[in-house]
Structure 1
């Protein structure tokens, strides 16, 4: 989820923590727990700083180790320990328990996005992405804001947040039902589809579609059960050649391949250079595919420049390649 949603979730968990007598009856513990749930709801996303290095490292590691099973166990210990230094009168056990819940909820809700997490590490490095909730879901965010406002104006926080989470559970179930209906509609539209990826958008009934059959890739949108296909690409394997091998060894290309399950490729000669491009088919926007990886190579198959990330125009991509030598 986005930062704003994680923040309101952390505050809501701090309110729900008042159901715990050890928290409700002890102001120091209540203050510490509120800090713990807010910080805990943000901590796993500290790996966002990796973007300051480069996109390849960010793509490969964001929502990776910091969202893993060991991290879910270690974050609460670290956060609760630091908070306890500033609030030594707090009940350390209950501070740790509620901070742990905040960290767990952060990782858990991220699984429902199309980006997903490596939440099963170290047992598996597979990306777990259920794709039913958009990274920012205005309905889910709005529900939390309304509940927090109701609490702010005097309602009992335990009952208010409990009702919020009951409604949120039904909302998630509804999203799964809509996703299932969309997948069935896609299968009816593309009977030979072997793989179907349905990703949410900001709009409740609108979904992005990417599908793979034996011979083609399909890209489209769904509005409810109404399917519109925009593009159809012939499916062809990446050729084996010294040029391709050199390009795919580049760190930007490798990062893209570690993340993207459905993509197509292009190779072309540009002046005295070769260009190999990988294009993710899941994120079509305004007739453009913004998530790409590109490597340019010379006649000796040396990578001259490369880039991976989100680019919304060809001009900006070429500028990135000009100013980002390998």
Structure 2
């Protein structure tokens, strides 16, 4: 989820902690737990700082080790330990427990995005992405804001957010049923489907689809349950040519391939260089595919420049490639 939603979820958990009898009778513990749930709801995204280094590091590592099984246990220990240093008289076990719940909830809700997480590390580096909820879901965010407003108006914080989370659980069930209906409609439209990747959008009734069939990749849209095919790409395995193999040595392309499950590739030859481009098919926006990896090589197959990340025009992509040093 986005940073704003994780913040309001931290507030929600800090509020629900007041249902804990030990917390309810200790205002100082309640304060410490609110700090812990806010920190715990943000901690797994500390790897966002990698974006300051380069996109390749960010793409390869974001929602990776910081969302892993060991991290889920280490974050609460670290956060509660630091808070306990400043609040030595509070019940550390309950402080740790609610901080632990905040970290668990962060990783759990991220699994429902199309981006996903490597939540099963160290057992596997496979990305777990259920494609049920958009990174920013207006309904989820607004429900939290309603809850916060209700608490300020005088309602019981614990029961207020308990009710809201029951409603949100129902919302997830509704979204799951929507997704099942979309998959059923796709199978009726394209009988030889092998895989369907569903990307929820910010609009409740609109979803992006990347469909893998026996001979083709289909990019489609589901709107109010109706499936529309937008683009079709012939399904061609990436060849082991010298140009492709040389391009794969580039960090940007390597990071892209470690993350993207469905893509279109092409190799273009110019008078003085080659260009290898991989395009992620999950994120079509207004007729453009913004998530790409591009590698330019000279005629001797030396990497001249490269880029991976989100780019929304060909002109901006050219500028990015020019800015990368040879």
TM-score by length of 2: 0.99
What corresponds to 1:74 in structure 2?
Answer: 74
SS in 2 for 1:63: coil
**Structure 1 position 237, deviation (Å):** 1.3
Residue 307 (1) aligns with residue 307 (2): yes
What corresponds to 1:275 in structure 2?
Answer: 275
In the alignment, the residues of structure 1 paired with residue 209 and residue 185 of structure 2 have an alpha-carbon distance, to the nearest angstrom, of 11
**Aligned counterparts, 1:230-249, within 5 A:** 230-249=230-249
Give yes or no for contact 2:113–2:132 (8 Å, CA) kept in 1. Answer: yes
**Aligned counterparts, 1:1-326, within 5 A:** 1-325=1-325
**Structure 1 position 241, deviation (Å):** 1.3
Give yes or no for contact 1:182–1:224 (8 Å, CA) kept in 2. Answer: no
**Structure 1 position 270, deviation (Å):** 2.8
CA deviation string 1:88-119 (max 9, x = no partner): 12111110010000001000110000000011
Q: Which segments of structure 1 move beyond 4 Å, counting only runs of 4 or more?
A: none
CA deviation string 1:266-316 (max 9, x = no partner): 100233010000000110111110000000001111111111000000010
TM-score by length of 1: 0.99
Give yes or no for contact 1:306–1:325 (8 Å, CA) kept in 2. Answer: no
Give yes or no for contact 1:221–1:228 (8 Å, CA) kept in 2. Answer: yes
Give yes or no for contact 1:296–1:306 (8 Å, CA) kept in 2. Answer: yes
In the alignment, the residues of structure 1 paired with residue 27 and residue 151 of structure 2 have an alpha-carbon distance, to the nearest angstrom, of 18
CA deviation string 1:138-178 (max 9, x = no partner): 00111111011111100011211110111011000100000
Give yes or no for contact 1:217–1:235 (8 Å, CA) kept in 2. Answer: yes
In the alignment, the residues of structure 1 paired with residue 207 and residue 226 of structure 2 have an alpha-carbon distance, to the nearest angstrom, of 10
In the alignment, the residues of structure 2 paired with residue 281 and residue 85 of structure 1 have an alpha-carbon distance, to the nearest angstrom, of 48
In the alignment, the residues of structure 1 paired with residue 125 and residue 288 of structure 2 have an alpha-carbon distance, to the nearest angstrom, of 30
SS in 2 for 1:135: coil
**Number of aligned residues:** 326
Deviating more after overlay: 53-62 vs 86-95: 86-95
**Structure 1 position 325, deviation (Å):** 2.7
Deviating more after overlay: 185-194 vs 62-71: 185-194
Give yes or no for contact 1:16–1:162 (8 Å, CA) kept in 2. Answer: yes
CA deviation string 1:187-229 (max 9, x = no partner): 1111111111111000111000111111111111111221111
In the alignment, the residues of structure 2 paired with residue 235 and residue 325 of structure 1 have an alpha-carbon distance, to the nearest angstrom, of 34
SS in 2 for 1:128: coil
Q: Gaps spanning 5+ residues in structure 2: where?
A: none
Root-mean-square deviation (CA), in Å?
0.8
In the alignment, the residues of structure 2 paired with residue 314 and residue 61 of structure 1 have an alpha-carbon distance, to the nearest angstrom, of 26
In the alignment, the residues of structure 2 paired with residue 19 and residue 270 of structure 1 have an alpha-carbon distance, to the nearest angstrom, of 67
SS in 2 for 1:42: helix
In the alignment, the residues of structure 1 paired with residue 158 and residue 286 of structure 2 have an alpha-carbon distance, to the nearest angstrom, of 44
